[in-house]
């Protein structure tokens, strides 16, 4: 187990500087254009693939960093460049992680490479879990997968929503109900291969922020996938479902729920790191503006009202990063989140991004409200952090119930 540290080692600093250079030289110059176009920034993703950022190998190296700082450091730098483009670059990772966490070695070897493709033929993947009536309430999921034993196929029907890369992805990972009586314990994940009949893109959402990231509904109409596309395999699924049915006592049920919540907790610091990157970007623009913009014969940072705002912004950003790094270190090293530290980091960082980007607009005044300066876009982008991967209200609920010992449903 690695000791917790706030100091990046030489290798981590080299990776950080490399990512920062890519964000500054490639992502930022393209940010305004793709925000206006509201389209997937294929040229930028291809550039990321050429240099090795858009690849499973890169994210695996960061994920297995025993200090826990690899992923949050990478997320902060990329999202410092631009949240919409960065989400387009890292969005495939959501589906890849789903396969890595639940798939067999054969499934991992078969499907994960197809999610990324290569620099000459970039591919995307989509993770499809949320539904119109099942966002935070995963137990209300309606998408159903039924096994056709005669053909060794699963038949999937339902509608998914808020899917990053949904409908345009090469590979979709779909979470579906296989046993409705078991609630959230009756779910399973499936690979939907390229060009599978019955899968179609539904509504593409016109969003307030992160507009360079494609977000859409995914319609599944009698989608048939081979039995080999059930992540983990049917034998493992049958064993898991059998164990779930045998759990008659409430205490056992609560242990299952808490274990599932721990999985969500471990992923939330990465979203917190994204928020830190956006907040830091806005703060840096505001600081530079305050030091160069003159009013009444002096830089506006000489005014206490502006200076105090910047001091508060920097303090909150650093505090958010500390919470994110602590939770990331705990997750990698198997430390239990006894106070919902994962949710703490995501909650504080998300709210910080919204507040800091709003303060940046205020410091820039009328200029901040225009698209001539990036803080307007950063403020729009920041709103998503308090919504996806669990709303701020859900984070507070998780924290409160963890502290009180109440079950987390």
* Gap between the Cα atoms of 267 and 94, Å rounded: 10
For the record, the structure tokens of 279 come out as 């907040």
DSSP string, 46-77: HHHHHHTSSSHHHHHHHHT-TTS-HHHHHHHH
Contacts of 325 (CB under 8 A, 6+ apart): 6, 68, 69, 72, 269
Domains of the chain: 10-122 (1.10.540.10), 125-246 (2.40.110.10), 254-404 (1.20.140.10)
State how far the Cα of 129 lies from the Cα of 158, in Å rounded to an integer: 11
| 3-state SS string for 256-317 | HHHHHHHHHHHHHHHHHHHHHHHHHHHHHHHHHHHHHCEECCEEHHHCHHHHHHHHHHHHHH
User: What is the spatial distance between Cα 331 and Cα 70, in angstroms, rounded to a whole number?
Assistant: 12
Tokens representing 124 are 């995307």
| Two tokens, residue 258 | 């808490």
- Planar angle of CA 94, 357, 53, nearest 5 degrees: 35
Look at residues 217, 132, 139, 130 and name the one whose alpha carbon lies nearest to residue 175.
130
How much is the pLDDT for 94? 87
Tokens representing 177 are: 């109900």
**Do residues 19 and 53 lie in contact, with contact meaning Cβ atoms separated by under 8 Å?**
yes
Could you give the CA distance from residue 76 to residue 193 in angstroms, rounded to a whole number?
32
In the numeric block, the tokens 């992680």 are attached to 97
Structure tokens at 90: 């890292």
Run of H or E residues at 81: helix 70-81
pLDDT, one tens digit for every residue, the chain (409 residues): 678 888 899 999 999 999 999 999 999 999 999 999 999 999 999 999 999 999 988 988 898 888 999 999 999 999 999 999 999 999 998 899 889 888 999 999 999 999 999 889 999 999 998 899 866 666 678 999 999 999 999 999 999 999 999 999 999 999 999 999 888 788 999 999 999 999 999 999 999 999 999 999 999 999 999 999 999 999 999 898 988 888 734 444 444 443 334 445 567 899 999 999 999 999 999 999 999 998 999 999 999 999 999 999 999 999 999 999 999 999 888 888 899 999 999 999 999 999 999 999 999 999 999 999 999 999 999 999 999 888 999 999 999 999 998 876 5
Task: Count each helix (H run) and each strand (E run) in the chain, helices first.
Answer: 14, 11
Question: To 5 degrees, how large is the angle CA 32–CA 360–CA 304?
Answer: 155
Buried b (16+ CB within 10 A) or exposed e, 310-321: beebbebbeebb
User: Which of 127, 241, 256, 255 has its CA nearest to residue 177?
Assistant: 241
Q: Which two tokens stand for residue 357?
A: 């980007």
The helix (H) or strand (E) run that includes residue 402 is: helix 392-404
Q: Which residues contact 288 (CB under 8 A, 6 or more apart)?
A: none
Q: Given this model, what pLDDT does residue 253 score?
A: 46
Catalytic-residue membership of 3: no
CA gap 280, 15 in Å, rounded: 18
Residue 324 corresponds to which tokens in the numbers above?
């994110």
Three-class DSSP category at 325: helix
Tell me the two tokens of residue 220.
Answer: 């599944």
d(CA 391, CA 388) in angstroms, rounded, equals 6
Residue tagged active-site, from 11, 131, 389, 393: 389
Rounded Cα–Cα distance for residues 19 and 15 (Å): 6
């Amino acid at each position: 187990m690695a000791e917790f540290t706030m100091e990046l080692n030489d290798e981590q600093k080299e990776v950080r500087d490399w990512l920062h250079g890519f964000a500054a030289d490639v992502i930022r110059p393209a940010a305004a254009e793709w925000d206006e176009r509201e389209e997937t920034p294929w040229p930028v993703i291809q550039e990321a693939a050429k240099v090795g950022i858009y690849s499973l190998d890169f994210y695996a190296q960061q994920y297995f960093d025993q200090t826990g700082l690899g992923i949050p450091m990478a997320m902060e730098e990329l999202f410092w460049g631009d949240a919409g483009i960065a989400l387009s670059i890292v969005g495939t990772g959501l589906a890849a992680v789903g396969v890595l966490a639940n798939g067999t070695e054969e499934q991992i070897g078969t499907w994960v490479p197809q999610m990324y493709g290569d620099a000459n033929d970039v591919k995307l993947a989509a993770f499809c879990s949320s539904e119109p009536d099942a966002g935070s309430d995963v137990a209300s999921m309606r998408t159903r997968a039924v096994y056709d034993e005669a053909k060794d196929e699963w038949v999937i029907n339902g509608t998914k929503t808020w899917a990053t890369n949904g409908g345009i992805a090469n590979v979709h990972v779909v979470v579906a109900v296989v046993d409705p009586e078991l609630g959230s314990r009756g779910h399973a994940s499936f690979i939907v291969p390229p060009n599978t009949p019955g899968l179609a893109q539904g509504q593409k959402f016109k969003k307030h922020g992160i507009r360079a990231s494609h977000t859409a509904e995914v319609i599944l109409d009698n989608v048939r996938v081979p039995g080999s596309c059930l992540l983990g395999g049917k034998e493992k699924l049958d064993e898991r479902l059998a164990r779930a049915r045998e759990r008659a006592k409430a205490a056992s049920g609560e242990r299952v729920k808490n274990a599932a919540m721990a999985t969500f907790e471990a992923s939330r610091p990465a979203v917190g790191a994204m928020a830190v990157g956006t907040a830091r970007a806005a703060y840096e623009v505001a600081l530079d503006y305050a030091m160069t913009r003159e009013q009444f014969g002096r830089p506006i940072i000489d005014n206490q009202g502006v200076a105090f705002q910047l001091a508060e912004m920097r303090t909150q950003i650093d505090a958010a990063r500390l919470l994110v790094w602590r939770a990331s270190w705990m997750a990698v090293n198997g430390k239990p989140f006894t106070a919902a530290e994962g949710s703490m980091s995501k909650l504080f960082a998300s709210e910080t991004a919204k507040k800091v980007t709003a303060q940046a607009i205020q410091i820039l005044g009328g200029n901040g409200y225009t698209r001539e300066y990036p803080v307007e876009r950063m403020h729009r982008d920041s709103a998503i952090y308090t919504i996806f991967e669990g709303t701020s209200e859900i984070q507070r609920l998780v924290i409160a119930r963890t502290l009180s010992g109440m079950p987390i449903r």
